[in-house]
Amino acid sequence: MAKDKDILPSPTNTGSSRNNTRTHRLLAYSLLVPCFVLGTIVSFRSNNFGFEKLELALSKVTTGCHRNTNNAAGVCSQVDALYPQNSKNAEAWTEFGKLIETNAFKSLAIDKLRGLIKIPSETYDSMPPPGQDPRWETLGQVHDYLAEAFPLIHKTFSLTKVNTYGLLYEWIGTDSSLKPYILAAHQDVVPVNPETVDSWTHPPYSGFFDGANIWGRGASDDKASLTAIMLTLETLLGKGWAPARTVVLAFGFDEEAGGVHGARSLGKALEETYGRDAFAFIVDEGGGFKDVYGTVFATPGVAEKGAFDVKVDVTSPGGHSSVPPAHTTIGYLAALITEYEQNPFPVELVRGSVPHDTLLCYASYGETIPRRLKHAIVKSTHSDKALRKVEELFVLPDPWYSSLVGTTQAIDIVQGGVKANALPESAYAIINHRINTASSIKETSARDAYTITALAHSHNLSLNAFGEDIIAPSAYSPAARGHIELSIAFPREIDPAPRTPTSGEGSEPWEFLSGTIKATYNAHRGISGNNNIIVSPGMSTGNTDTKHYWNLTRHIFRYNHKNSAYGGDIASGVHTVNENIPLDHYLEIIRFFTTLIINADEAVF
């Protein structure tokens, strides 16, 4: 693979042998049925697991679906930059654009974000509902701050608080025939590990501004977007601008814990108030833009992977550690974890998927894309052999893109044992899955059980997977050494999201967003033209609060116009130490929301 290193847009580490991995996977699936028959008593119900259908379902990942096109440009059409047209809107947009460049506005924007960062609105997994845990109470400080920092919004908009801390703002437009739209963000942040505080360049809740960057937890995820939305609307209100199309703001409060209490409640409230498919579009956090192969690409998220947390619980008899068995409960768990990590999910690019469409855009517009890769991508629209070649040249050598394409598994939590001289009666691990868009929770859970069945059998362990006995305790003597239980770890599992239309019928909101992105990019740099930035269907590896908003519209865009081209040693620090955002990037997010809100008034969908 060394000779193909120039094909990747940035240096990467391949990590393992492609051929050996693929051979192993093919062998494993070819033995799917025999493995379940081999000396075990197995009971599967197709309505729960569908093991007998797993091979067929997984084969769909390889086969994919064919597009009626033989060129990349056919699925990466571009629109012109979209600027406000009527005099009122054009004047408001131009004036706001000039305002963003002033030192006074920059100072105002910095102060608004710094104030929000200083509130440690952390959320944790498995928190009980609001009112039952004092950790929620920092969100009350967020509400008080927003009311103080944005008084015109709180005077003009209607505000409904859902499940205590969810925020729904509504600014009624003058034209009721236009569908409203939603701008979404979340108030919460991931916790700061106390052991890492000394590693931060500036304290995590200081909101420190060093003259170029704003530092602190939430600076990038997601308080910059929330503040940008609010400051944009507050400024427009102050200048007397009013919308024709109703604007709704939906701010969840536990996105980092799956939105179980926040966005889920907001989604239900919005559906009850407005009805299904009542909104023109939704914009939430998500993709940004960066240079790839000599061309700047914006990649709004138009789909999302599924998510599924699995608890692997092992129990076995305890006792005194001076007389240990061959394997303790923790030893069994370690073996199971090793088995999972040695058998990752296959990474196979699917024709017609969002990751494949993104590559087609790279092939169409990437100025420096290697000819061999471009040829393979274009040909992959109709050739399975070329599709596998694209995997070999681009997908598999890139850990990030491999994670985007395939179902991932990450063992994130391990716990077991209470005393050094006592054998642990139980131990467990949590596996976090992000499910590829061609798969499902059903397939993922089936494969999890399949992966460890042979190992459980060899250690004389019974196995129950999601309520189904795979290896029943009665299959062995009463001296069975232990039991494995697979279950849902947290009640937030979700299948992959429906895809937002990006071509053909129903793609008008996508075209509107694309033109808005281009206008924003041009305006922030003082340039003109239509293809200074190319807009491509995109998808992130994670999930957003929009997973609870599927019933509200077909047009969900996970995008906040983040400039991903961080220079030098600066890193965004999302979910880790030194989270920060450059001031110029934050200002461009404000410009994006300004352009979006004003353009939405003139859109005809």
Last residue within a domain, chosen from 447, 474, 496:
496
CB 361 within 8 A of CB 287: no
Number of domains in the chain: 2
Q: Residue 295 forms beta bridges with which residues?
A: 292
Mean pLDDT on 581-590? 97
- 557 near 193, Cβ under 8 Å? no
298 and 250 belong to one structural domain: yes
154 lies in which domain range?
87-302+502-600
Which one of 455, 477, 496 terminates a domain?
496
Q: Where are the beta strands (DSSP E) in 299-367?
A: 306-315, 319-320
- Is residue 359 a part of any domain in this protein? no
Backbone angles phi, psi at 362, to 5 degrees: -60, -40
Q: How many percent of the chain have pLDDT more than 70?
A: 86
Look at residue 382 and tell me if it is in a domain. Answer: no
SS3 of residue 18 by DSSP: helix
C-alpha distances (whole Å) from 479 to each of 38, 258, 383, 461, 473 are: 21, 41, 55, 10, 10
Q: Is 221 annotated as a binding residue?
A: yes
Convert the pLDDT of each residue in 322-353 to its tens digit.
999 999 999 999 999 999 999 999 999 999 99
Could you confirm whether 255 is annotated as catalytic? yes
List 222, 234, 254, 255, catalytic entry: 255
CA-based nearest residue to 317, from 422, 439, 200: 422
Q: What is the pLDDT of residues 77-100, one digit of tens each?
A: 999 999 999 999 999 999 999 999
Single out the residue of 412, 437, 445 nearest to residue 51, CA to CA: 445
Residue 115 sits in the same domain as residue 130? yes
Please state, in angstroms and as integers, the Cα–Cα distance from residue 94 to each residue in 83, 87, 267, following that order.
Answer: 10, 10, 35
Q: Is 63 part of any domain?
A: no
The verdict on whether residue 202 carries a ligand-binding annotation is no
Say if residue 137 carries a ligand binding annotation.
no
What 3-state DSSP class applies to 499?
coil
Same domain, 533 and 480: no
Confidence grade of residue 491 (pLDDT, cut at 50, 70, 90): confident
Residues 137 and 184 in one domain: yes
Domain shared by 311 and 332, yes or no: yes
Q: Is 188 a catalytic residue?
A: yes
Reported confidence tier of residue 166, pLDDT bands at 50, 70, 90: very high
pLDDT tens per residue, range 186-230: 999 999 999 999 999 999 999 999 999 999 999 999 999 999 999
Catalytic residue among 188, 285, 357, 443: 188
Domain of 319: which CATH number? 3.30.70.360
Residue type for position 113: L
Check whether 545 is labelled as a binding-site residue.
no
Same domain, 210 and 194: yes
Looking up residue 526, the CATH number of its domain turns out to be 3.40.630.10
Task: Determine phi and psi for 309, rounding to 5 degrees.
Answer: -105, 125
Would strands 282-292 and 556-563 be described as parallel, antiparallel, or unpaired?
A: parallel
Considering the domain architecture, whether residues 486 and 511 belong to the same structural domain is answered as no
The answer on whether 433 is annotated among ligand-binding residues is no
- Rounded Cα distance, 517 and 248, in Å: 20
Instruction: List residues bridging with 478 in a β-sheet.
Output: none
CB atoms within 10 A of CB 492: 20
pLDDT of residue 473: 82
C-alpha–C-alpha distance, residues 142 and 139, integer Å? 5
Residue 287 and residue 157 in one domain: yes
277 and 323 together in one domain: no
Mark whether 422 and 544 lie in a shared domain. Answer: no
Residue 358, both tokens: 């993104």
